[in-house]
Structure 1
Amino acid sequence: MTVHNPGRRRFLALTGATIGGAAILPRSAVAAQTPAATSRLLIGQNICRLTPEVTEGPYYFDPKLVRRDITEGHAGIPLKLRMQVVDADCLPIEGARVDLWHCNASGLYSNYAGQGDDREHPVSTKGETFLRGTQMADEGGVVEFLTIYPGWYRGRTTHIHFKVFTNETTRLTGQIFFPDALSAYIYQNIAPYSDRQGERDTINANDWIAKQAGDASFAYVKEGETAYEVALIVGVDPSAKSVQSAPPPPPDGVPPEGPPPQGFGGPPPGGARGPDGAPSGPPLGGGSGEGQPITPAMLVPGANS
């Protein structure tokens, strides 16, 4: 996804750099660091905190697919999503299991019926497993998934779901959120996202689950050569038992707010395409990501503590 538009690169940099008001550390600060040292530098900048748990939603199931590439050929803007799992003491949790799932560019989840924009003619994806997968954290607590930018559906802002398992009783259920300006441009200008009829009715500001999750659940997004690179630190307490909470209901008599009437500004991203050669199942013998550490140069945490 090589782009020669400096204005667009500046837009993406500003979008990421303003999430939570945090700053990007210079690449030179970590150029000579080992993976372990890089992880310590990353989580040592007053940003290590437990990630809030939120509802898993109605579309979770475990297809038992250990795989890095979860696209199964679905078209969309490629994403390289990297998450670093750490504990309350800011130490990486090696071997943590991370499940990931989200909707496709048309707003559909795999393996569920009754979906789609047309309520009179709902879509069924029963038996399908696209955009779902599992990875195990490496020694730096890092997992990596290859996927596509998620679409939207009514009642929710743009998001990706995840679960982290550290043992039989401890798990964290969370969601990852994205800059609204970037989502708006993708949905309005890039096929297949722009092929849909209607407009989304929910953005970050009026999504109750996003409000519950807080700024720590907003990922940093930057442009790479072939995909958008998305990064997030996930703080888990391995000694805690999971207590999944539901999102708070909207106040009585208050209708949900819609997106700004004039939409959002910024240059449209280009280079959208379906990933080539996406596998339909896990690699032989399972397998995890490449194990490269998340560096501060590619990450802006959700917020200052």
Structure 2
Amino acid sequence: MTDTQEPAHKKDMTRRRMVIASGATVVAAGIGAGAVATASADEDPAKAARGKKSGGKKGEECYRLTSETTEGPYYIDADKIRKDITEDKEGIPLTLRLKVIDSDSCKPLAHAAVDIWHCDALGIYSGYEAASTGGPGGPGGPGDGTPPSGMPTDAPTGVPTDAPTGEPPSGGPGGGGGGHSEPTDDERYLRGTQLTDKHGYVEFKTIFPGWYQGRCVHIHTKVHVGGKLTDAGYEGGHTCHTGQFFFAESAVLDSAKIEPYSTSTTTRTTLTEDTIYDQSGVTGGLLKLSYRKHHMARGVVASITMGVDPDETHDGTDL
């Protein structure tokens, strides 16, 4: 996605909070010896402690959340209300468990619409299959901050003789909201929306995302409130959160040993190299992951709690 905006922690985040439950790593039933749990080891406790606020259930604390991010170019409105978004795409099964809370009260936010969307195991986005291969507007194209596939990456030589004139182009690197693109095909795999239950939970069945040039492995998300379900999907209301979820580097390396991820020849950007992830651990969108070290192909469980302010509007184009 074109995600070359400044990290979200440089923005005004005065009301955003995050809940981190004690012992919060979600473990799949039956996972025992040899299991891998990631995320908390990458979190900076000192950074998390700043902005702490009591509230919610016993054993939970609210923290400042720094994960408001750009929407990127490949968002499609919430028109697929479903739990399983896989559509037979190949990849490591991923169960994504999300909880949404009110950042001020720390209480669960019921009936909020949660969108997620991400690329497949080889870095392709549904709705934008042609662009996702590195063409104009796709990963490696305008708006993603990386050179299009096939373009030279070396710095130009010589001294320019003329100063540039006119207004800078919009929608390119650093452009507002990542320069949204209109869909180019009718595919909608690895996209879906669900309403939170009375406890603020939703769960998606999907696959572990792959990677493409210029970005680390990630999942996009939006939270909408004030709307309603219709035959066309979720309509009305407003978007109170736009963010991204990230994966520990160790888990991505484990996934890269498994087909079809292992067949990718695309240069991979690491978590520490990514221009969107703010390096703050769970508070920046780093997922808690559980899986068997030598049997990752059987599946991964990922979880995180999002603190949102339902009275705010953050549609991903305001950064």
Normalized against structure 2, the TM-score is what?
Answer: 0.62
Amino acid in the other structure paired with 1:18 = A
Once the two structures are superposed, the pairs formed by residues 130-149 of structure 1 within 5 Å of their partners are: 130-149=189-208
Q: 1:193 aligns with which of 249, 255, 261?
A: 261
For the Cα contact (< 8 Å) 2:70–2:242, is it kept in 1? yes
Indicate the residue corresponding to 1:182 in structure 2. Answer: 251
Once the two structures are superposed, the pairs formed by residues 1-305 of structure 1 within 5 Å of their partners are: 6=33, 8-9=34-35, 12-13=36-37, 15-20=38-43, 40-41=57-58, 44-50=59-65, 52-62=67-77, 64-88=79-103, 89-112=105-128, 113-116=130-133, 119=149, 126-167=185-226, 168-187=237-256, 189-200=257-268, 202-211=269-278, 215-216=282-283, 217-223=285-291, 227-242=299-314, 244=316
Deviation at 1:55, TM superposition (A): 0.3
Deviation at 1:75, TM superposition (A): 0.6
Number of aligned residue pairs: give it.
220
Change in 2 beyond 3 A, CA 1:213/1:17: closer
Q: What CA deviation, in whole Å up to 9, does each residue of 1:139-168 have, x standing for no partner?
A: 100000000000000000110000001222
d(CA) in 1 for partners of 2:134 and 2:254?
A: 20
Q: Which stretch has the larger CA shift, 223-232 or 59-68?
A: 223-232
Deviation at 1:53, TM superposition (A): 1.0
Q: What CA deviation, in whole Å up to 9, does each residue of 1:218-259 have, x standing for no partner?
A: 010012795311001000011112263577xxxxxxxxxxxx
Amino acid in the other structure paired with 1:208 = T
d(CA) in 2 for partners of 1:5 and 1:242?
A: 40
Change in 2 beyond 3 A, CA 1:17/1:51: closer
d(CA) in 2 for partners of 1:94 and 1:180?
A: 33
For the Cα contact (< 8 Å) 2:212–2:267, is it kept in 1? no
Normalized against structure 1, the TM-score is what?
Answer: 0.65
| Unpaired stretches in structure 1, ≥5 consecutive residues | 23-38, 248-305
d(CA) in 2 for partners of 1:213 and 1:78?
A: 26
Q: Which stretch has the larger CA shift, 50-59 or 102-111?
A: 50-59
For the Cα contact (< 8 Å) 2:39–2:281, is it kept in 1? no
Partner SS for 1:18: helix
d(CA) in 2 for partners of 1:164 and 1:240?
A: 11
Deviation at 1:169, TM superposition (A): 3.1
Amino acid in the other structure paired with 2:276 = I
Partner SS for 1:210: coil
Q: Which stretch has the larger CA shift, 159-168 or 217-226?
A: 217-226
d(CA) in 2 for partners of 1:18 and 1:101?
A: 26
Deviation at 1:203, TM superposition (A): 1.2
Change in 2 beyond 3 A, CA 1:63/1:140: closer
d(CA) in 1 for partners of 2:66 and 2:193?
A: 19
Q: Which stretch has the larger CA shift, 190-199 or 213-222?
A: 213-222
Amino acid in the other structure paired with 1:184 = L
d(CA) in 2 for partners of 1:164 and 1:5?
A: 34
Change in 2 beyond 3 A, CA 1:52/1:186: closer
d(CA) in 1 for partners of 2:32 and 2:240?
A: 42
Change in 2 beyond 3 A, CA 1:213/1:237: farther
Partner SS for 2:276: helix
Amino acid in the other structure paired with 2:210 = G
Structure with more of its chain in helix, by fraction: 1
Amino acid in the other structure paired with 1:239 = D
